[in-house]
Amino acid sequence: MLTFPYSPPGARKLEGEVAIGMEIAREYAEDRGHDVKLELVLYVIHGCLHLCGYTDVDDASAAEMRMKNAST
């Protein structure tokens, strides 16, 4: 999954793109034992969090993103 933010940090309107690899989603869903649709939803949420400014560059920020992802 790749995100391409178009709006500047703090902008009132969020603009950007989230690119998702379907084959990777299928593979991960199979490995994790759940439906590919769930995997895709998780990717979309994760990508939107990135567009909102969240990062996962270290353990603490990755844990914060996982918590946000799980709470939706």
Per-residue model confidence as pLDDT tens digits over 31-52 = 999 999 999 999 999 999 999 8
The DSSP call for residue 60 is H
pTM: 0.82
Q: Is pLDDT above 70 for 72?
A: no
pLDDT given for residue 66 in this prediction = 85
For the chain, how many residues are written?
Answer: 72
Q: By the 8 A CB rule, do 59 and 70 touch? A: no
Rounded to an integer, what distance in angstroms lies between the CA atom of residue 22 and that of residue 67? 24
